[in-house]
Amino acid sequence: MAKVNKNMLIGQLIKLDPNIVAILMRAGMHCIGCPSAQMESLEEAAMVHGLDADILVQQINDFLGE
């Protein structure tokens, strides 16, 4: 099982599993397709959107563990 962390780049997460996009979109990150977003860490993107990166990491890891 792959584990993600908040220091991983959005681009890395999408490459790991494209279905992660749906989790990020549900959380309010609607700019995932933006080229600059691909080079942001999950923590940076969460901060910009006022989200808790640790909660996103848990959601993504729970999804990947299914």
Number of other residues whose CB lies within 10 A of the CB of residue 42:
25
- Asked if the model's pLDDT at residue 2 lies above 80, the reply is no
Which fold would CATH assign to domain 10-65?
A: SP0561-like (1.10.3910)
Query: For residue range 10-47, what is the model confidence (pLDDT) as tens digits?
Result: 999 999 999 999 999 999 988 777 777 778 999 999 99
Cβ atoms of 65 and 1 closer than 8 Å: yes
Provide the pLDDT for residue 12.
Answer: 92
Spatial separation of the C-alpha atoms in residues 33 and 27, rounded to whole Å:
15
Mean pLDDT of 46-62: 95
Helix (H) or strand (E) holding 43: helix 42-48
Which pTM does this prediction carry? 0.88
